[in-house]
């Protein structure tokens, strides 16, 4: 009779122990399966991965925008440089000493071939537009007439023979050439600076992007 309470106690203890073992086995299985975690490491790393993805996307978007802006600006500066170089050359040719005294008419003869040379015609037209933006009204009109052949009807042959007209023509032409030459130097300098900044921005992006991608790979692993 005295042994029954002891047996009951042992039975209860064994049952409790088996239940605890089952709980521990389940707990271990949950740990192994990742259903239970002892630290916040995985959650923290998932946040890092998400943050790094967002940073890389933002960097890519900004770099692409900067590159598009540079390419557009470079295209405009290249066109301006080509136009100014052509304009300076034409003005230089038009202001050389003409023994026959046909300063403006020489440009009219030259302009006849521009219709067939579209690129040159476009460059000169662009130079005219630049002149209208940066030159005074009178100088801009002079430049247009010289570069496009828009010469008003007049006895230019007679006028060109006058020394005063030749001097005034050359003086204005040299003045405009000087302005255009300075504009040309400015555009070339701006293009050089923009190209240098673009190269630096690309190098910095490549370096930072590589570092971020390395962090992302490590966090994912």
Chain segment 82-131, per-residue pLDDT in tens: 888 888 887 777 666 444 334 444 444 444 454 445 667 777 787 888 77
Q: Which of these, 92, 90, 101, 95, lies nearest to 170 by C-alpha position?
A: 95
pLDDT value at residue 198: 93
Hey, which of 35-49, 133-147, 206-220 has the most confident mean pLDDT? Answer: 206-220
Q: What is the C-alpha to C-alpha distance for residues 18 and 133, in angstroms, rounded to an integer? A: 94
More confident position, 153 or 58: 58
Q: What is the C-alpha to C-alpha distance for residues 213 and 53, in angstroms, rounded to an integer? A: 9
Residues 27-67 have pLDDT tens digits of 888 878 777 776 777 788 888 889 888 989 999 999 999 99
pLDDT value at residue 102: 40
pLDDT value at residue 95: 63
CA 133 from chain center: how many Å?
A: 24
pLDDT value at residue 2: 54
Q: Which segments within 69-151 are labelled E, that is strand?
A: none
Structure tokens at 79: 């066109």
pLDDT value at residue 61: 92
């Amino acid at each position: 009779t005295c042994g029954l309470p002891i047996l009951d106690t042992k039975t209860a203890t064994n049952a409790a122990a088996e239940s605890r073992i089952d709980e521990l086995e389940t707990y271990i299985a949950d740990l192994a399966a990742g259903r239970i975690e002892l630290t916040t490491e995985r959650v923290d790393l998932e946040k890092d991965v998400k943050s790094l993805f967002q940073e890389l996307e933002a960097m890519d978007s900004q770099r692409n925008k900067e590159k598009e802006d540079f390419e557009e600006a470079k295209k405009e500066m290249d066109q301006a440089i080509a136009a100014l170089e052509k304009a300076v050359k034409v003005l230089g040719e038009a202001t050389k000493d003409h023994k026959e005294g046909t300063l403006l008419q020489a440009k009219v003869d030259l302009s006849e071939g521009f219709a067939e040379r579209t690129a040159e015609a476009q460059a000169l037209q662009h130079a005219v537009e630049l002149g209208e933006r940066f030159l005074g009204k009178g100088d801009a009109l002079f430049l247009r007439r010289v570069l496009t052949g828009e010469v008003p009807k007049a006895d230019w042959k007679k006028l060109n023979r006058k020394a005063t007209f030749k001097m005034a023509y050359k003086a204005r032409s040299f003045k405009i050439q000087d302005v255009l030459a300075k504009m040309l130097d400015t555009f070339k300098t701006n293009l050089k600076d923009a190209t240098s900044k673009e190269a630096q921005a690309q190098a910095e992006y490549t370096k930072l992007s590589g570092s971020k991608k390395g962090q992302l790979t490590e966090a994912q692993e």
